[in-house]
Amino acid sequence: MWKLNLARLTGVGAVAAMFAVATPAAVAQESRSETGPAAKAEELAEANVLLRVDGMSCPFCAYGLEKRLREIPAIDELVIRVSDGLVQIRLVSGAELTDEELNEAVKRAGFSLREIQRLES
Amino acid sequence: MRRAIWVALALSALVLAPDSSVAQGLPFHTETALTTAFEQRGLRLISSYRPRDSVSAVVTPLVILPFAPHQRVATRVVVPLVYKRVTTSRVGGGTPYSEAGVGDVSVAAKWAFFVRDRFAGTTRFALVGGVSLPTGRTSARFEDGSGAPRPLQLGTGAVSGGATLVGTMIRGQWGVSADVGHRRHATADDFQFGASTRYNLALGLRLPAHVETIRTKTWQLYLEWNGSIAARSRTGGNEIGDSGGHVAFLSPGLQFVPLPQLLLEASLQIPVLQNLNGSQLDHGLRPTIGARFLFF
């Protein structure tokens, strides 16, 4: 049941995968779910865009940013790392996403976009 | 058109301010300069038990509907459901009675006029204003037919409003918010509640210190100081001696965020200063529980 819930919650698998890469806690997480998080870990390695966002302080405040970014069709998956002030984005294959679109989404969520990094996947 | 209505509502409400009990900040009773995301809607359900002395009790569940028509403006409609009970004949000289129903509905808006974000933190200042409408009944009577005093009615019977200045600073897991606001009441049926000035300070600590993602479960500990200074009420052109004064509460609180769009909260307001004019009922411990939801 635990695995099933993880798989169904949008983005949770990706979050668990980040734990797996970055922290010991993720190892435990991955051991509880052998398929979803592991698969997501590979997908996260394919992040195309990295945003540095100022002003994020808690999950409840940052929820609006996730909702705004998920409304953009070019975004396939994303993970918001609150304390690091980072947003990892994986684009839909072949899709393009302009800086203006990203800046507008962050601004409307009530935060300040400091930097956009385009990553080689 | 719909957005224009919300903007007009927000701007018209900026002139006046709501009650501190409906603060829409991350603290409980203190405002915050943070605003919700553009066009984001939310819901806050909060229930507060507010006893005064051993002879009366007030329970006030609040339904708060915040909405953001702009990334720096947040509006809210507050529909208080009020239950008031008087258990002895000491109050007003009558016999026991109880009343339940909708209190005074209020509309308010918050404008964040200063925003300076930084890594894992922010400094913001906002102006909050609103009006409270006399939608609550004022016809409660004791069993002997005599009218209950105005403070014991479900509504105030008059329009009221004011403005509040609020500042919020967050650095990592620590946050502090402070506000000061003034509220005035119109006269209705020859009675006018005294103008009040409230001041609040909230210190918050988020746990854990490092929040991995927005789905990391977090706790927030708060300690607030909630103060209010009210002038004497007036009736027939004369001041009422047994009204107004200075009240302050020390309010520890705990919030839990199990999901990024859900926040559960509980706090306890402990009266630490009650410099009331004349002879008035003392405030007791005021427990508050609530939940907040974010949705679009």
pLDDT by residue (tens digit) across B75-85? 888 888 888 87
How high is the pLDDT of residue A11? Answer: 34
State yes or no: pLDDT of B20 exceeds 50.
no
pLDDT above 90 as % of chain B: 47
* B255-294 burial code (b ≥16 CB/10 A, e <16): bebebbbebebebebebeeeebbeebbebbebebebebeb
Examine the pLDDT at B13 and tell me if it is beyond 60: no
Residue B165 pLDDT > 70, yes or no? Answer: yes
The mean of the pLDDT values for chain B is 83
Query: Mean per-residue pLDDT for A98-103?
Result: 95
Q: Hey, what domains does chain B have and what are their CATH numbers?
A: 2-295 (2.40.160.40)
* The predicted structure's pLDDT at residue B201: 96
Q: How confident is the model at residue B6 (pLDDT cuts 50, 70, 90)?
A: very low
Confidence of residue A29 (pLDDT cuts 50, 70, 90): very low
Indicate if the pLDDT at residue B4 is higher than 80.
no
pLDDT at A38: 38
Residue B236 phi/psi, 5-degree rounding, is 60, 25
Question: How confident is the model at residue B46, as a pLDDT?
Answer: 82
Mutate to test the interface with B, among A44, A57, A104 (most CBs of B within 10 A): A57
- Which residue on chain B is closest to A15 by alpha carbon? B213
Q: Enumerate domains of chain A plus CATH numbers.
A: 1-45 (no CATH), 46-121 (3.30.70.100)
A81 touches chain B (CB under 8 A): yes
Tens digits of per-residue pLDDT, B183-196? 999 999 899 999 99
Q: Give the mean model confidence (pLDDT) for residues B219-227.
A: 95
> A6: which DSSP letter?
H
Residue B26 is given by DSSP the state S
Residue B87's pLDDT is what? Answer: 67
Q: pLDDT tens for residues B231-269?
A: 999 998 899 999 999 999 999 999 999 998 899 999 999
Q: How far apart are CA B155 and CA B132, in angstroms?
A: 10
Q: Chain B residues with CB inside 8 Å of A67's CB?
A: 37, 40, 296
Of B72, B257, B292, the CB nearest to A59: B257
Mean pLDDT of A55-78: 90
Give me the percent of chain A exceeding a pLDDT of 90. 43
Condensed to tens digits (0 to 9), the pLDDT of residues B32-70 reads: 888 877 667 778 888 888 777 644 555 566 667 777 777
Beta-carbon separation of B215 and A82 below 8 A: no
Nearest-angstrom CA–CA distance, B148 and B61: 22
- Nearest Cα to A84, choosing from A104, A114, A109? A114
Distance from CA of A90 to the nearest CA of B (A): 16
